Chain A
Amino acid sequence: MKYKRDPTRIREILGKKVQFILGDMACVYGGLLAGCSFFGGYPITPASEVAEGMARMLPRVGGTYIQMEDEIGSIAAVIGAAWGGSKSMTATSGPGFSLMMENYGFAVMTETPCVIVNVQRTGPSTGQPTLGAQGDMMQVRWGTHGDLEALAFAPSTVQECMDFTIEAFNLSEKYRNPACVMTDGEVGHLRERIVIPDEKDLKLIDRVTANIDKKKYIPFTNSQTRKNCKVPDFATFGTGYRTYVTGLTHNEKGFPATDKQPDHERLVKRITEKITDDADKLVMVEKLNLDDADIIFVTYGATARPAESAMEKGRKNGMKVGLLRLKLVWPFPDKLVTKLAKDVDKIIVPEMNLGQIVHPVSEYACKHCEVVSAPKIGGEMHLPMELYKYLEGK
């Protein structure tokens, strides 16, 4: 039976509206609420609970769970399912995410909506499997070869693991681009209270499917039914449009055009511009005490929590400290960071890596203010006191 989203059934399986659950499970909840009907996964710490949750719940809501042979196969099956008409997702961590890079690029090039949850740990290589980190914030942006735009969320709470998985599906469907939920071992293995949104409060976006005359349909061009929209209408396999989908540079018809400069430029510009054109709409941040601040944290994910504590301590001690939390890290809110850099003396960027998002922060601060990296690696979160010392300039 082909899957049809049944909200009553999904809620029956998820259970009570308010629950105390694991961050990884919240990603499962988010996926099911969004209408995910295919999950292909491979066990990896600290993301395995997502696969385990899906294995328990997907068959009961009418979806399909398959444990694939590796992460390459997982993302491949997820992309295949998307072309078959499913909303689909996978979950992994650093080493698996590295393995997925080639097919992640394939999803970008073929404009396939799909979601990857990355419960980040650190490396290089196997690193610290059981501990959290923010090791892949640059890999999600630049890890696959070629030019692309990334869509990457960073949840700081278990509630956000669920909410951002839903949002990742929404952006992925809207832009026909893979979207990533860049959580980490800390948030992924944290248990917190979540509130499951009611159906009427749930805003779900589905890809716009092709419904024009089959002879007039052009699969890889601006939408033929929406004005000024660079996202093509999606011809689900099996609906008679007989689309040829290739990772090779292709012309608007989808035919390989590997030796034609204009075709490549037109294609890759469109698949990046469909996202960059909407950059202003794609700013998703939390702003704390920014109005009068002269020193601010720019932070995301688990790290935002100790940073907020450090900010509060600074405020208590009379410092004008603020915090900008990036909910959607990519596309990077460049204009906002430039504006803030003009207003403040210093930006501190705490991260559980040796400095990744500090680079776009520095780039867009445009030397208007000092930008300081506050790294911590080794699988431990920053202590608020450690970050407070950065406020004191130590």
Chain B
Amino acid sequence: MVEIKTADELNKKFLREGMWPTIFCNGCGHGVVLEYTFWALEELGLDMDKVIFASGIGCSSRLPGYINADGLHTTHGRAIAFATGIKAADPDFHIIVFTGDGDCAGIGGNHFIHAARRNIDMTVIMINNFIYGMTGGQLAPTAPLGSVATTAPYGNIEHPFDICDLACALGANYVARWGVSHPYQPIKSIKEGLQKKGFSLLEFLAPCPTAYGRRNKLGDIKKHWAWYDDNTILIEDYEKIMTYGSEEEKEQVKDKIQLGVFQDIQKPGFFESYEKLVDRLKEKEAKTKEGKK
């Protein structure tokens, strides 16, 4: 195997021919998440014939189209349910679902909840840009309080959805949130997620200058990207400050979005449990037959 050292080499290996250029706007964060995923796949050396991608509807859900692999671009919010079936058909598959905040936390919330609860073996990469970008900037369930969208023209009054909190509560095996301006931790984290049995969630905060930024005084791409550095904090730093910091320091960080690994546990994945069930039935049947003899 040729060792890949540059992004160009990486793209040559993983991108699907004929799909270029992408639909993404200037300053969009989706391409970065795609590159992180490629690096993680490359470093793990997974057989790309057995890595299957699924997605729903929205900008992030277009990502599987750009990857040289099997991909199922499904209906809005349903990718995780489709992916459940794909995995059931062949236990050798590695399933990666690309989804957005509207697709996953909005219309697809119920599928997300139950796949996480069942601990279905898949890695969900939710790219959160606080907005319905593809349809032109409507209010998302993750939108910060007070933010403006075409359908929240006077500012959002709904509390934003913390999808990582939800996944942790459901007992997902691996839950992490990252941004798109520092590559090393997220790539390592995607690798960890992919190696997990059961359900893993990686949330990425990604800028959308076109649909979100312009309406929220972040239309300038540099300014928009800088917003994430100013408004996020590593879990470890957050906890340190909240435990040992001064009141002033606590005040500064209390509303920041935490980045890092929130949960890393080892519950058996759904298909492992299912195989055990099948084995139990076989044993029982064998015993019954034995008894009859």
Task: List residues of A whose CB falls within 8 A of some B CB.
Answer: 1-3, 37-38, 40, 59-60, 62, 64, 66, 68-70, 72-74, 76-86, 88, 102-103, 106, 110, 237-248, 253, 255-256
Residues of B close to A78: CB separation below 8 A: 85
Question: Given the interface contacts A84-B86, A102-B75, A242-B68, does A237 sit within 8 Å of B81 by beta carbon?
Answer: no
The answer to whether B86 touches A237 (Cβ under 8 A) is yes
From B174-182, B186-194, B242-250, B274-282, the one touching the partner chain is B274-282
A62 vs B113: C-alpha distance in the bound complex, in angstroms?
Answer: 27
A244 pairs with B73, CB closer than 8 A? yes
**Residues of chain A with a CB closer than 8 A to B19's CB:** 244, 255
Q: List 7 A-B contacts (CB under 8 A).
A: A73-B81, A80-B83, A80-B86, A82-B89, A84-B85, A84-B93, A238-B70
From A68, A247, A256, B75 is in contact (CB under 8 Å) with A247
Query: Smallest CB–CB gap between A248 and chain B, Å?
Result: 7
Q: Which A residues are CB-close (under 8 A) to B87?
A: 80, 84
Residue of B nearest to A81 (CB): B85
Q: Is B92's CB within 8 Å of the partner chain A? A: yes
Other-chain residue from B64, B65, B72 in contact with A83 (beta carbon distance below 8 A): B72
In the bound complex, how far is the Cα of B130 from the Cα of A358, in angstroms?
50
Q: Whole-angstrom distance between the alpha carbons of A85 and B91 in the complex?
A: 12
Contact of B50 among A40, A238, A247 (CB under 8 A): A238
Do the beta carbons of B73 and A246 come within 8 Å of each other?
Answer: yes
Contact yes or no, B281 A60, CB < 8 A: yes
Residue B12 CB within 8 A of the other chain: no
Given the known A-B contacts A1-B91, A244-B16, are A76 and B69 also in contact in the complex, defined by CB atoms under 8 Å?
no
- A69 in contact with B85 given A2-B90, A242-B49 (CB within 8 Å): no
Contact A85 B88 (CB under 8 A): no
B78 lies within 8 A of chain A by Cβ: yes
What residue of chain B has the Cβ atom nearest to residue A251's Cβ? B18
Q: Which residues of A contact B81 (CB under 8 A)?
A: 68-69, 72-74, 76-77, 80
**Residues from chain B with Cβ under 8 Å of A106 in the complex:** 74-75
| Cβ proximity bits B121-140 to A, threshold 8 Å, 1 near / 0 not | 00000000000000000000
Contact B110 A64 (CB under 8 A): no
A81 to B113, CA, bound (A): 20
The 8 A-B pairs with the shortest beta carbon distances in the complex, nearest first, are A84-B89, A80-B85, A77-B85, A81-B85, A76-B81, A73-B81, A246-B73, A80-B82
B71 contacts A by Cβ under 8 Å:
yes
Task: Verify B74–A77 contact, CB threshold 8 A.
Answer: no
Q: Is B52 an interface residue (CB 8 A)?
A: yes
**B84 sits at the interface (CB 8 A):** yes
Contact pick for A103, options B54, B65, B75, CB 8 Å: B75
A59 touches B64 (CB 8 A): no
Q: Does B111 contact A (CB under 8 A)?
A: yes
Does B114 sit within 8 A of A, measured CB to CB? yes
- Choose among A68, A239, A255 the residue that contacts B18 (Cβ–Cβ < 8 A): A255
Q: Please encode chain B, from 217 to 246, with 1 for each CB lying within 8 Å of some chain A CB and 0 for all others.
A: 000000000000000000000000000000
A13 vs chain B, min Cβ distance (A): 10
B99-118 contacts to A, CB under 8 A, are 110-111, 113-114, 118
Q: Is the CB of A244 within 8 A of B64?
A: yes
**Of the candidates A66, A76, A237, A253, which one forms a contact with B93 in the assembled complex, judged by CB atoms under 8 Å apart?**
A237
Q: Which residues of A contact B90 (CB under 8 A)?
A: 2, 84-85, 237-238
Bound together, the chains give a CA A1 to CA B92 distance in angstroms of: 9
Q: Are B16 and A77 interface neighbours, CB within 8 A?
A: no
Known interface pairs A69-B111, A256-B65; A79-B49 also in contact (CB < 8 Å):
no
- A248 and B281 alpha carbons, distance in the complex (Å): 43
A82 partner residues in chain B, CB cutoff 8 A: 85, 89
How near does chain A come to B75, taking the closest CB pair, in angstroms?
5
In the assembly, what is the distance between CA of A59 and CA of B275, in Å?
Answer: 9
Q: Report how far A78 CA is from B274 CA in the complex, Å.
A: 17
A238–B65 contact, CB under 8 A? no
Instruction: Identify B82's interface contact among A3, A77, A102, A244, CB under 8 A.
Output: A77
Judge whether B82 and A59 touch: CB under 8 Å: no
Do A81 and B111 touch (CB < 8 A)? no
Contacts of A103 in B (CB 8 A): 74-75, 78
Q: How distant is the Cα of A29 from the Cα of B69 in the complex, in angstroms?
A: 36
Chain A residue nearest in CB terms to B270: A66
Measured in the bound complex, the distance between the Cα atoms of B50 and A237 in whole Å is: 8
If A62-B278, A103-B78 touch, whether A77 touches B93 (CB-CB below 8 Å) is no
Cα A381 to Cα B275 in complex, Å, equals 44
Q: Is the CB of B85 within 8 A of A40?
A: yes
The distance from the CB of A150 to the nearest CB of chain B, in whole angstroms, is 19
Min Cβ gap B252→A in Å is: 41
A81 partner residues in chain B, CB cutoff 8 A? 85-86, 88-89
Q: How distant is B262 from chain A, measured CB to nearest CB, in Å?
A: 23
- What residues of chain B lie closer than 8 Å to A70, measured between beta carbons? 110
Tell me the minimal C-beta distance from A16 to chain B in angstroms: 17
Chain B hits for A238, CB < 8 A: 49-50, 52, 70, 90, 92-93
A241 and B278 within 8 A (CB): no
